Structure 1
Amino acid sequence: MANTFQLEILASDRPFYVGAAEQLVFPTVDGLMGILPGHESMVTIVSPGELKYLVDGEWHYAAISEGFAEVRRDYVLVLGDAIELPEEIDAKRAAEAAERAKERLLHKQSIMQYYHSQAALNRAMNRLKISKRHNHEI
């Protein structure tokens, strides 16, 4: 097997992936973070977006919401509030959630409600983008 590290990707409701990985790429507030075996230790916030990891030469993709990652030289732990494979995403439901969030943004609301509506819209749009990118039949 190629040079790998132990990867654990855990969603709030289930273990998503546990095993060896060759590379990992995930979104942060500063942009995409790439991890290779031997990476310097760190802890960082994971932003909503596309997470991808390389196992046995094949890339695997997922939509991830907010979370954080702990990186060590030979081990990476990614915790996400919600993590979904592209084929698990209900595109119709995500589109409906985006429309509801857009509608809420048009109404007068407190700053906290605005941020919640904006976050809901971002999550829905992220799910739609990943679903469309990786499910060619949609």
Structure 2
Amino acid sequence: MYLTMNKYLPLAFLICLSLPAIVTGFEDEEIKDTSLSPEDASFLLSRRSKNEETTCRDLFTQNMLQRQIKFSNKEVDVDDRRMAEIQIEEARKTLSETHSFCLANKKLVMLHDLPRDTEKGQIHFEGY
């Protein structure tokens, strides 16, 4: 019995190696075939961008939660809280204007200039 199991081991190994390509093949499709119609190509591009937006949405949610926690924590340095507040505000504006989680996440993780017109410990909110 050991010998018969041994001859199938390389086959099982090859199947395991090809499994990630089979599972993720639909998400990572490249538009390499020039015989695709424009409708097919745009469908593949929209599906790829939808997958990217889904990934960005998950990252945006995690990063936004981290900034909200940092902003709400009174033990965090005042300038760090102010930076988190500005990042949240800029990300919300970008998400509202572009409806893109990827662009909003870029704004969320950017370092912005702290306003110079506020006093130490003063909250910098615009329009909320």
TM norm. shorter chain > 0.5:
no
How high is the TM-score relative to the length of structure 1?
0.27
How high is the TM-score relative to the length of structure 2?
0.29
**Structure whose alpha-carbon radius of gyration is higher:** 2
Give 1 or 2: higher helix fraction: 2
Give 1 or 2: higher strand fraction: 1
